[in-house]
Amino acid sequence: MNPYVIPGLKEVYIPARYFILPSNVTKDQLMNVVCEIFEVEKNQVISKTRKRTFVEARKAFSYFASKKLGYTLSYIGKDILKKRDHSTVIHAIKSCEDLYETDPVFRNKIDRVALKISEIKK
């Protein structure tokens, strides 16, 4: 969870979709944070395997790279995730958004990624 303490108020919870990520975050920093939170290696995220833990990390990376860092879908698919089509990245992003709404464990991980990335300083 990502509690924030506001003077005079209780701790509040801010969902990941409301985080504004710093513009100085690179794709490598994003990948490192996603790998740390999801407890996977970078080569496992990039691989073609369909194990759930790797797929969820891949979806999270695709979501943040597109929605928060502004990379194009084709760049994410071809250059970062290696030999994936832009439509695969679109599906990953939609799946990430659906999982965020329905799976509390996944939501917690996404919120932790967003919080950790928002704390990155250049």
Q: List, as own/partner pairs, every contact residues 13-17 make where C-beta atoms lie below 8 angstroms and the sequence separation is at least 24, other chains included.
A: 15/107, 15/111, 16/100, 16/107, 16/110, 16/111, 16/113, 16/114, 16/115, 17/100
Instruction: Provide the β-strand partners of residue 10.
Output: none
Q: pLDDT band at residue 83, thresholds of 50, 70 and 90?
A: confident
- Give the CB-side neighbour count of residue 23, counting CA atoms within 13 A: 0
What pTM value is reported for the model? 0.82
What does the mean pLDDT of the chain come to?
85
CB 30 within 8 A of CB 61: yes
Q: pLDDT band at residue 121, thresholds of 50, 70 and 90?
A: low
Cα 68 from chain centre? 9
Instruction: Provide the β-strand partners of residue 11.
Output: 5
Domain range enclosing 16: 3-118
pLDDT in tens, 5-39: 445 544 555 566 555 666 688 999 999 999 999 99
**How confident is the model over 38-57, as a mean pLDDT?**
95
Q: What is the CATH number of the domain that holds 102?
A: 1.10.1750.10
Question: What is the tally of structural domains in the chain?
Answer: 1
